[in-house]
Amino acid sequence: MDPKGAVAIVTGGASGLGAATAARLAECGATVVILDLPSSQGAQTATSLEGAGHAFRPADVQDPEAVQAAVRHATQLGPLRILVNCAGIGTPGKVVARDGSPMPLEQFARVVGVNLIGTFNVIRLAAAAMVANAPTDTGEHGVIVNTASIAAFDGQIGQASYSASKGGIVGMTLPLARDLAAQQVRVNTIAPGIFDTPLMNAAPQNVKDALAAGVPNPSRFGRPEEYAALALHIVENPYLNGEVIRLDGALRMPPR
C-alpha cells in the first residue's frame, strides 16, 4: 500500500519508535494522527512532522470512547488505511519479591491492560473504519502493524507481566489477519529487541553498555528509524500478512 494520501494512526507516537514511524509515514505523504497520553509531547511531535494536516489526539489506548473519537477524527481527514500500534509500558517485578510478598495483581493487570487489551482496543475500532474504505488500486482496505517484543519469546527474570502482554500480541497476530482477510486488511507484528528509546535511556550507562555488547551483530541498540523502516516496508508490501518479525540483531535474551 502506498502511504501517500492515506491517513495513519500511530499510538505511542509522541516519542521513541512511534515518533520515528510517524515521521517516516509523513515523509511518504501520509496524514498522521498521533494518539498518545494527554501528558505526552504528542502535540509538539505532530507539529514537527513534514507536511500539513497532521494531528494529535490525547487518549489512553484502553479508553474505548477516547480511541473512538481519535478514529473518528482520523476518518475526517481522509481514508484511514494505516494503524501502527507502538503504545506500551513495562513495569518489572518478580512473582514473589525478596521480602516474600507476591506481586500485586493490579501491577500485572495494568501492564497487560495497556499493552495487550489497549492494542486490541485500537485495532478493533480502527479496523471497523478501514473495512468501510474503498479499496486501493491493489485491492487493499488497510494495514495494521503491532509492536510486540523479543520478551514474548525470551522473557527475562522480572518480565512475567511484560512478556505475557507481548506474547498475547504475538499470539493474536495470525487470527487477526485471518479475521480481516475477507475485508482486505493486513495485520503484522514487529518484535523489537533492545532499542534506543526514552525508556531505555533511563538506564545507567554501564547497564546500557552491557546490553549493547550482548547484541551479536550489530553490537548496539536498535535505532527508532530502523523500526520505522520496517513498519513502512510492511505497509508497502502487499504480500506480507499474519507475520511476526523479530528486529533484534540476532539477540536472544539470557535469563537476566
**Catalytically annotated residues:** 162
Residue that is written with C-alpha cell 529487541 in the block: 193
Which segments of the chain does DSSP mark as H helices, in order? 16-27, 42-48, 64-77, 105-112, 118-130, 151-154, 160-179, 198-201, 205-213, 224-236
Distance CA 45, CA 24 (A): 13
Which of 162, 187, 252 shows the shortest CA–CA distance to 216? 252
The answer to whether the CB of 34 falls within 8 A of the CB of 18 is yes
Cβ-Cβ contacts under 8 Å for 160 (sequence gap 6 or more): 93, 94, 95, 103, 108
Give Cβ neighbours of residue 46 (< 8 Å, ≥ 6 apart): 22, 32, 34, 54, 55, 56
Of residues 240, 227, 229, 232, the one with CA closest to residue 138:
240
Between β-strands 31-36 and 7-11, what pairing exists: parallel, antiparallel or unpaired?
A: parallel
Q: How many CB atoms lie within 10 A of CB 205?
A: 8
